[in-house]
Structure 1
Amino acid sequence: MAAAVGGEAPAAGPAAGGALWAEVWALLPGSEEELTLALSGEVDGCVRPLLRRARGLLYGAEGRPGGEAAAAALRRLGDVLRDYSWEKLNAGPWREVSKAWRQVYAYGCLFGALAEVAAGRPLAPAVRLCDMGLLMGASVLDNVLARLVRVLQQHLPREQRRGAAGLAAEKPVVLEGIMDHWPCMRKWSVDYFCQVAGCRTVPVELGTRYTDEDWSQKLMTVGDFISQYIVNEKSVGYLAQHQLFDQIPELKEDISIPDYCCLGEGEEEHITINAWFGPEGTISPLHQDPQQNFLAQVFGRKYIRLYSPQDSENLYPHESQILHNTSQVDVEDPDLVKFPNFRKAEFQSCVLMPGQVLFIPVKYWHYVRSLDVSFSVSFWWS
C-alpha cells in the first residue's frame, strides 16, 4: 500500500535545502500514526520502543520539528537500530535471518538517512545508508528507501552522481565472488551430469533460438541430450528447465540462492530457479523478463548484450501476445532497412565468465549467445 501523504513538512535544519526536505517529506506518511512501523515477525522487546521514539523525533513529538537537536537524536537512534539489527543479520546463514530483523535494519537506515538530510549534511552518506538498507534490509513503507535514494541522487554534486547508483538504480552489473563457495563450481561438468542425472527424462528445446520456425521441444533423457547435442553436436539443442532443481534435488544442493534475492517483497519459495545447459552457439533472442534476474555462470562463457527498457520502441517487439516480450531484430545481423530505428538503440555488452553473476533488472532487454558448452543458473525474483 502506498504511503499516505499530507500535512506540512517539518522545518528542516538551517543548512538543509528547503526544497529537498519538501521532496523527502512527501515520500513519508502524512502523520506519525500513519507510519505504522509494522514488522513481519517478532524482535527483541527493546526494539519497538526505539522505533517509536525515532518516529516521534521525526514527526516532532519532542523538541522543534526537524530541529538540530532532534536531527542529532534521530541520527543516534538510527545508529543504535542498525548496530543492534546488524548483529542479528550476521548471526547465522542469511536464509535463516528473520524478515523482521531485516525490516528493523531498513528502518535504521531510513531514520539515519533522514537525519542526515534534516541536518543539512552532505548527501553521499545518506545515499549509502539507503543502499545498505536496500541491500541488507527488507522493504518498508512501500519500498521507501528506493524512492528516497532516487530523490537524493538528483541532488548530489554531479561528480558524485555516477558512483551513487548501485543496485538501487537498477542498472545491469556483473558481481564477483558470490558463487565462489557453491559446490557446483568444483563439481559440475558434462560427465558429472551424466553420472547424477543421465537416466532422468527432461524437456529439451530443439533449434538455435525459440523464434525460429523449426524450433520445437522434445522429452529425452539427460544422457541422450548430452550424447546428441553436446558430444556429437548433431544439431542444436538446449536444456532449459524451470523444474530441474526440484526434479533432481542433488543438483539444487550444489547451488545457493544469492542473498540479494531477499531484497524483494516475495519470500524464498517465490524465487524461480532455472537451468540453462547447451552447446556453443545456442542463442536466446533479444527479450525482456517481468522479474529481476541474477544469471549465474557455472561453466562455459556467454556473450550478453543489454538494452534499457527506454529503448523498447527502437527494438521492434513482436506484435503477437505470445512474443510481445521478444524483439524481431537479429541483434548481431540486423536488417536496418526493415528495422531502421534499431541503430538508435544504445547497448552494453559483456562476456560472462565462470563464477560471475550478472544482475539483469526487470524489463531490461537482453540477448545471450553461448560461446562454449555452457551451464548457467538464473534466479527470477520480484
Structure 2
Amino acid sequence: MAAAGSAEGAGDSPVPWAEVRALLPRAEEELSLALSGEVEDCVLLLLRRARALLYGAAGRPEAAAAAALERLSDVLRDYSWEKLNAGPWREVGKGWRQVYAYGCLFGALAEVAAGRPLARAVRLCDLGLLMGAAVLDNVLARLVRALQPHLPRAAPRARPRAEVAPANTPPGPAAEGNLPLQRVRLLPPPAVQPEQVIPHLHCPSLEHFRDSYLIPQRPVVLEGVIDHWPCMKKWSVDYFCQVAGCRTVPVELGARYTDEEWSQQLMTVSDFVSQYIMAENNVGYLAQHQLFDQIPELKEDISIPDYCCLGEGEEDDITINAWFGPGGTISPLHQDPQQNFLAQIFGRKYIRLYSPQDSENLYPHESQILHNTSQVDVENPDLVKFPNFTKAAFQSCILMPGQILFIPVKYWHYVRSLELSFSVSFWWS
C-alpha cells in the first residue's frame, strides 16, 4: 500500500507519506474541526469520521480506509458546494467554506495515500484555496507546496478540456463545455494627444505624491518605482509554466466581461497558456485576486508600493490582483471603489481615464450588477445612442513595462492589452 511508504503516479516522483503527514497535527484530537459558523450536526459527524479514518493505525490509512476517506471527502465537497452556490458569494457562511476546504483536504490526502498521480490532489488543494476558507494554519497551501515539486513539469496541451467552476467563483460565473474559439483583432492604439497625456513622474517622494496626486485625486504614471522587483527580470510565459503550470485557476473567456459569450472556467495555468497564449486567435484572461495567495512563489517576486502607506487601511487590507492575457483583451470603461496602482510587468496597455464628475456622460448600466460599468464602447462609441459621451474629457497613456499608473478611487478607466501582457494591481483605501 502506497501509504505505508510513498505515493507515486505515472510521471510523478515518490512522495514520502511522512512528508505529507508532517503537515498535520501529530494526534487525532489535535486536529481541530472548529468552524466559524453553524453547520448541520450530520456534517460535523462526517468530518469527525473522516478525521478518524485519516489517522487510523499509526496515522496511516490502509487501502480500505483511504477509499472510505475519499468517499467521505466527495460527500463533504458535494454538500458544501450546494451551500456555496445557494446565494450571493458575500452571503456564504465561512463555516461552509471551511467544510469545503476540509473536504478538499481529505480528498487530496486520500489521493496521496492511494498512490495515484498527484495532479488530482493538487487540483483539490487549489479548489479548496479558491472556494474554501483557511483551515489548520492554511494547510492546503502548505500541502500543495509539498506536492508540487514531485510533479512533472506540466506541458501545454493543444486543446484542453476546461472544468466546471461554480457560479459563485470569484470574480464571475462559469460555464461547462469545450472552450470557445474567438478571433482576436489586434488594433493599434489611438494616438495620445498632448492635452490628453497623463503626467509622468520618476520616483516622487511620499509627500509630493500625497500632496500633488493623492489628496487632489489626480492620475499619474510613476516610473522607476518597480525596477527592483524580481518579477521584472524573472517573469515570462515559460516561468509561469515552470512555477505554476499544474495549478488550477479561474480564467475569463471572452474579449470583455460585458459580452454575452463571456464566461469563466477553471483550468490549469499550462492549459491556459496553450489555449490562449500560444494560440493567438483566442481571447482568454487570467484575472483573479487570489493568485498570489494561492501561489506564494509569485508573491515573493513583487512588493506593495510604498505609497500605499499613505492610505487609512492596514497592509493586510490591500487587495492584489493578477491580470495575464494576450493582446486584444479589454476591460470596459468602469470604476472601482478603492484607490488603484496598476503596475505593468511586461507588455503594453492602452488606458483611458475619465473623472467621476463625468459619470452622467458615460451612461452607466442601470442594472445593479453592472452599475459601475459604462454602456459605451469607448473606441467605437454609438453617438446616436450616447450623444453626451463626447462631452466627457479624458486622459490617456500607453502603459509600458516598469510603469505604475495611479487610478484614483471612482475614476472611470478603460484598458486594452496591445500585446501579451501581465499587470499587477493594488487596491487600497
Q: Which interval holds the TM-score relative to the shorter structure?
A: 0.5 to 0.7
Q: Structure 1 residues 133, 204: CA separation in 2 closer, same or farther (over 3 Å shift)? A: closer
2:411 maps to 1:340? no
1:170 Cα deviation (Å)? Answer: 1.2
TM-score (norm 1): 0.58
Unaligned 5+ residue runs, structure 1? 1-130, 137-145, 150-164
Who is 1:204 aligned against? Answer: 251
Asked whether the equivalents of residues 293 and 360 of structure 1 are also in contact (C-alpha less than 8 Å), the reply is yes
1:347 maps to a residue whose letter is F
Cα root mean square deviation, aligned: 1.5
Give the distance between the partners of 2:310 and 2:261, measured in 1 at CA.
Answer: 40
Aligned equivalent of 1:293: 340
Whole-Å separation in 2 of the counterparts to 1:370 and 1:166: 25
Distance in 2 (CA, whole Å) between partners of 1:315 and 1:334 is 11
Q: Which residue of 1 aligns with 2:148?
A: none
Deviations 1:284-333 (A, max 9, x none): 00000000000000000000000000000000000000000000000000
Letter in 2 for 1:300: G
Unaligned runs of 5+ in 2: 1-203
Give the C-alpha shift of residue 345 in structure 1.
0.4
- Report the alpha carbon displacement of residue 233 of structure 1 after superposing the two structures with TM: 2.4
Match of 2:283 among 220, 225, 236: 236
Q: What is the alpha-carbon distance in structure 2 between the residues aligned to residue 238 and residue 166 of structure 1?
A: 31
User: What does the per-residue CA deviation read over 1:46-88, in whole Å, with 9 as the maximum and x for residues that have no partner?
Assistant: xxxxxxxxxxxxxxxxxxxxxxxxxxxxxxxxxxxxxxxxxxx
What is the CA–CA distance in structure 2 between the aligned matches of 1:257 and 1:183, rounded to whole Å? 13
- 1:132 deviates by 7.0
Which residue in 1 is equivalent to 2:420?
373
Normalising by structure 2, we get a TM-score of 0.51
SS in 2 for 1:233: coil
- State the 1:167 CA deviation: 2.9
Matched, 1:223 2:270: yes
Secondary structure at the aligned position of 1:227 is classed as helix
Q: How does 1:1-382 map to 2 (within 5 A)?
A: 165-382=212-429
Deviation at 1:232, TM superposition (A): 1.0
Aligned length: 226
Post-superposition Cα deviations, 1:348-372, rounded to whole Å, max 9, x if no partner, equal 0000000000000000000000001
Q: Distance in 2 between matches of 1:274 and 1:135?
A: 26
Answer yes or no: is the 8 Å Cα contact 2:206–2:307 preserved in 1: no
> What amino acid maps onto 2:367 in structure 1?
S
SS at match of 1:322: helix
Instruction: Pick closer, same or farther for the CA change 1:133–1:233 going to 2, 3 Å.
Output: closer
Match of 1:127 in 2: none
Larger deviation: 232-241 or 251-260? 232-241
User: Distance between the aligned counterparts of 2:208 and 2:253, measured in 1?
Assistant: 39
Q: Which residue identity does 1:242 align to in structure 2?
A: H
8 A contact 1:292–1:362 mirrored in 2: yes
Write the deviation string for residues 333-356 of structure 1: whole angstroms up to 9, x where unpaired.
000000000000000000000000
Question: Does the 8 Å contact 1:134/1:263 carry over to 2?
Answer: no
Separation in 2, partners of 1:233, 1:209:
16
Q: Do the aligned residues in 2 keep the contact of 1:185 with 1:298 (CA within 8 Å)?
A: yes
The AA in structure 1 aligned to 2:259 is: D
Q: 1:133 to 1:179 in 2, by over 3 A?
A: closer
Aligned equivalents of 2:331, 2:366: Cα separation in 1: 19
Report the CA distance between 1:169 and its aligned residue: 1.2
Deviations 1:180-238 (A, max 9, x none): 10000000001100100000000000000000000000000000000000001242000
Question: How big is each residue's C-alpha offset from its partner over 1:124-160, in whole Å with a ceiling of 9 and x where there is no partner?
Answer: xxxxxxx977569xxxxxxxxx8xx7xxxxxxxxxxx
Q: Does the CA-based 8 Å contact 2:213-2:219 persist in structure 1?
A: no
Change (3 A) 1:248 1:348: same
- The secondary structure found in structure 1 opposite 2:415 is strand
Query: Closer, same or farther in 2 for the Cα pair 1:132/1:229, shift >3 Å?
Result: closer
Deviations 1:235-265 (A, max 9, x none): 2000001100000000000000000111111
Q: How far, CA to CA, are the matches of 1:178 and 1:281 in structure 2?
A: 27
Please give the secondary structure, in 2, of the residue aligned with 1:169.
Answer: coil
SS at match of 2:309: helix
CA contact (8 A) 1:229 1:236 kept: yes
Contact 2:251–2:286 under 8 Å retained in 1: yes
**Moved runs in structure 1, 4+ residues, more than 2 A?**
131-136, 165-168
Q: What SS does the corresponding residue of 1:224 show, helix, strand or coil?
A: helix
Cα distance, 1:168 vs structure 2: 2.5
